[in-house]
Amino acid sequence: MKNNKKANIRDVARETNMSITSVSRVLNGKADKYRIAKKSQDLIMEAAERLNYVPNFSAANLRSGKSKTIALTIPSLNNPFFAYLASEINLSLRKEGFVTILSDTFENNEDEKSILRNLLKRNVEGLILIPSGNDYEHILELQKSGLPIVCVDRYYEDLNLPYVTTNNFKGAFRATEYLIESGHENILCIQGVVKSEPNKERIRGYKEAMFQAGLKNIRVSGNDFSIQNGYLETKLAINSPKRPTAIFTLSNTIAMGSLKAILEEELSIPDDISLITYDDHPYLDFLITPLSCVEQPRADIANMTVKILMSMLSDSEFEVSQVKLDPNLKLRDSVKTLNGKQT
């Protein structure tokens, strides 16, 4: 069983009956350079894991100087929204004189934990994180160790960490309201990762708009921000006894799957079925029917995130900032007006 108390190099040395110098060299990735035996390396690494060893960031910086390196972890580089954020954050950090170590956690909380453990060995000065799950004990430990952390897009509702995101409730409410104003009542909402805060807020916005309009036919399906999820859920909906007149997808990756399913069924947008999505992307403009969407201020999110992190690095008395930026409803041609209603 792991010890919950944070251990230091002396604790690991005592546990393994090895010198502090040898332990330090192994934990800092210099074992091969100093020809430390593989058996001793394994012994030290196992003890460090067992004792819950976390590097002392302040001491490391005093020894080697500032690393000027920031860790950035995201759930999926296949998601255009996350890829764009990563690019903008990297550009912003470069302007501040920092380099970025980018890691893809593949929407896996255990992979996230492993990646962050490895990143700590690189003496990063800060962490920008798009979480892959609701388990945050490992993040809490990093925060307690003194590592500056900012969440972006997703965040932990119960953890007092800085974050920058979109007002996802407002964006989803406006998109659903627009569909209702266009005469749609049978509206399917295809969601992403169910437990992520942005998804929960978007579902809340969809439901509130339906509730305020007196519509009780709440239809929510799906469980992933993926093309496959959008494809499968749209296929099922189109072939259900009561086909929706409109679909609201909660990401543009889900929308891509929906488009594939609609095309295969030889249906037309918006004549046969209306489609609106969360997140903008250049490809939406070049479709046969350009898609309406909720546009997030991606560049502002990225720049605000870096600004907060820089403040944390320079000010030990930094107060937690939790920022929600307003989205924009971007209307194109993918929603049909029913029953003579005007939008």
Sheet of 322-325, strand order: 99-104, 69-74, 126-129, 149-152, 163-166, 322-325
For 69-96, the pLDDT digits (tens) are 999 999 999 999 999 999 999 999 999 9
For 235-279, the pLDDT digits (tens) are 999 999 999 999 999 999 999 999 999 999 999 999 999 999 999
To 5 degrees, how large is the angle CA 141–CA 13–CA 40?
A: 105
Question: What is the CATH architecture assignment of 1-53?
Answer: Orthogonal Bundle (1.10)
* Average pLDDT of the segment spanning 189-218: 97
Q: What is the pLDDT, as a whole number, of residue 121?
A: 74
Q: What is the pLDDT, as a whole number, of residue 1?
A: 41
Count of C-beta atoms within a 10 Å radius of residue 28: 17
Range name among 24-33, 214-223, 291-300, 328-337 with the lowest pLDDT average: 24-33
Q: What is the pLDDT, as a whole number, of residue 134?
A: 86
CATH class name, domain 168-296: alpha beta
**CB neighbour list of residue 263: distance below 8 Å, 6 or more residues apart:** none
Q: Which of 227, 337, 248, 232 is nearest to 291 (CA)?
A: 248
* Average pLDDT of the segment spanning 139-155: 92
pLDDT, greater one: 105 or 66:
105
Q: What is the pLDDT, as a whole number, of residue 343?
A: 44
Q: Where are the domains of the chain?
A: 1-53, 168-296
pLDDT range class, residue 7, cuts 50, 70, 90 = confident
